[in-house]
Amino acid sequence: MKKILIVIDSMYGGGAERVVSRIANALAVDNEVIIYTHSTPEMYPLDEKIRIIHIIEPPALYPTYKRGARFMWLPNKIYRYYRLIKMCEKLKQKEKPDVTLSMLKTQNLMNAFSKGPGRKVLSERNNPFKKDFEYRLLGKLSFPRADKVVFQTETIRNMFSASIRKKGVVVPNPIHVSCKATGGSKRIVTMGRMHPQKNHTLLIKAFAQFSLTHPEHTLHIYGKDKGEEPLLPLIDSLSLTGKVFLEGFKSPIHPLIADAELFVLSSDYEGTPNALLEAMMMGLPCITTDFDGIRELLGADAPCLVTPVGDEKALTEAMAQLSDNPSLRKTLSRRGEQFTQAFTLEKIIPKWRDVLLN
């Protein structure tokens, strides 16, 4: 039995969080698993043997309400990172893990720079070159200090230097669904947090055009509520109130989307698109944008429709094509289910075990 420490921002509502819940639950069968995370209102289901230790956010170096605070954002940020690293270091020295796995930028920094026993495994969950300067900088600082860096696709791994590629390993996300698609409704669904990366704006605009010829359909967006404010005026301006619904985070999600006619992923970039793979595993006919790495993931004979990133017209046409063609929906449903068998827990968890335990 080994002790595994997992460091992640939260265990609520995101793709990385869902992946951690699956990895942690699988490893907890024969290992001691600790998750170091911020307190959250609800979490993905975790094995009762898993210990949760809550990160207590350190106070700011300089209170933001005082005069001159606008000049202190950089010292405050640096001080926050320093305190989080020290907190992680203290935990490592107390728990003495055999390996520490971290996901997301701040947690990768905490793992990389904190001293203590055990190997350091960092995970890049996205395309860093689509992110801001701070995100890229933290990756450049953190990855050289790792024992292993886990990437989701070769496309992303190959964006890094030779020294990082050498310690890099590609492990797709483990996918699991709780039910199969039933269809039967006129609902179009998507899953993804309210973040510009997911480009829900594109999907809503494309749906507005689609709705002109398919007035009986509705669009349902499931994901974390934070950041939905810019979408509400857009929905109102396009006269889509009562047709587009921001459903918020829901768990379990799969029974709530099982009756959908089709699933759409409109992202500008992704690592491995959990939501898309889960929808395909359920048997939902799917559409995705052609972001970096998706062709590598799907292969030459993609089991879904693929449209250019940011192309509203192409997305509208793809939704109409799929909605109007029951035979095509049936074909993509069957092919999607077959394709995603390569991403089951039984296929992917052994790869994570190999990275973390060997």
User: Residue 131: which pLDDT band, with cuts at 50, 70 and 90?
Assistant: confident
Question: Is residue 336 within a helix (H) or strand (E), and if so which, with residue range?
Answer: helix 326-339
Q: Which pLDDT value is given to residue 126?
A: 81
Q: Determine what percent of the chain is predicted with pLDDT higher than 90.
A: 74
pLDDT score, position 338: 97
Where is pLDDT greater, at 63 or 216?
216
**pLDDT exceeds 70 at position 65:** no
Helix 312-323 vs helix 326-339: angle between axes, to the nearest 10 degrees? 100
Give residue-wise pLDDT tens across range 77-119: 899 999 999 999 999 999 999 999 999 899 999 999 999 999 9
- The residue that leads in pLDDT, 130 or 200, is 200
Average pLDDT over residues 63-77: 67
Question: What's the pTM?
Answer: 0.85
pLDDT(343) > 80:
yes
Domains of the chain, CATH where assigned = 3-170 (3.40.50.2000), 187-342 (3.40.50.2000)
Q: What is the 3-state secondary structure (H, E, C) of 170-191?
A: ECCCCECCCCCCCCCCCEEEEE
- Give the pLDDT score at 43: 75
Counting residues of the chain whose pLDDT is more than 70, the rounded percentage is: 95
The reported pLDDT for the residue numbered 41 is: 63
Asked whether the predicted pLDDT for residue 200 surpasses 80, the reply is yes
- The residue that leads in pLDDT, 153 or 216, is 216
Quote the tokens at residue 338.
Answer: 């077959």
| Amino acid symbol at 163 | S
Q: Which of 348, 358, 357 is nearest to 170 (CA)?
A: 348
| DSSP-derived pairing of the beta strands 51-55 and 99-103 | unpaired
* pLDDT at residue 261 in the model: 98
Q: Residue 128 — pLDDT band, cuts 50, 70, 90?
A: confident
Structural tokens at position 254: 């799969």
Q: Output the pLDDT for position 195.
A: 86
Q: What is the pLDDT of residues 233-251, one digit of tens each?
A: 999 999 999 999 999 888 8
Mean pLDDT calculated for residue range 314-330: 98
Print burial letters for 188-213: b (CB count within 10 Å at least 16), e (below 16). Answer: bbbbbbbeebbbbebbbbbbbbbbee
Mean pLDDT of 279-295: 96
